[in-house]
Homo-oligomer: A and B are copies of this chain.
Amino acid sequence: MTDSDLQISELGKALAHPARIKILRLLQKTPGCIGGDIVGAVGLAQSTVSEHLRILKSAGLIRGDISGPRICYALNPEGLAPLGAFIGTLDAPEDDTCWTPDTSKET
């Protein structure tokens, strides 16, 4: 259970930066995949973007296929599946009753 918490938190960490969200959105709406155009889209230095791509890749959210001298990045939607499942789990609360402090013991 704790390792699952770790996995979810790792995915959360991968999403914990606006630039990475932007990159994911960009890859989603891009017909195929693009290379250094990401750099221009996010408005950060090339090395910084490369680092974000590395983080996303290591989190399993994107793929990077070598296509000649460039790299073809593409989404890997399955990577977010555990996080989606977690959110779905939380979305179904069993009960909403608030526990009233019964200091006056009953039994």
Residue pair B33, A86 in contact (C-beta under 8 Å): no
Which residues of the partner chain B approach A97 to less than 8 Å between Cβ atoms? Answer: 31-32
Q: How far is the CB of A43 from chain B (nearest CB, A)?
A: 10
| 8 Å CB interface, A62-101 against B | 65, 67-70, 72, 74-75, 77, 80, 83-84, 86-101
User: Number of contact residues on A: which range applies?
Assistant: 35 or more
Contacts A9-B17, A12-B15, A12-B16 hold; do A83 and B87 have CB atoms under 8 A apart? yes
Chain B residue numbers with a CB within 8 Å of A33 are 98-99
Q: Closest chain B residue to A86 by CB distance?
A: B21
Residue positions of A touching B, CB distance < 8 A: 1-2, 4-6, 8-9, 11-22, 24-25, 28-29, 31-34, 65, 67-70, 72, 74-75, 77, 80, 83-84, 86-101, 103
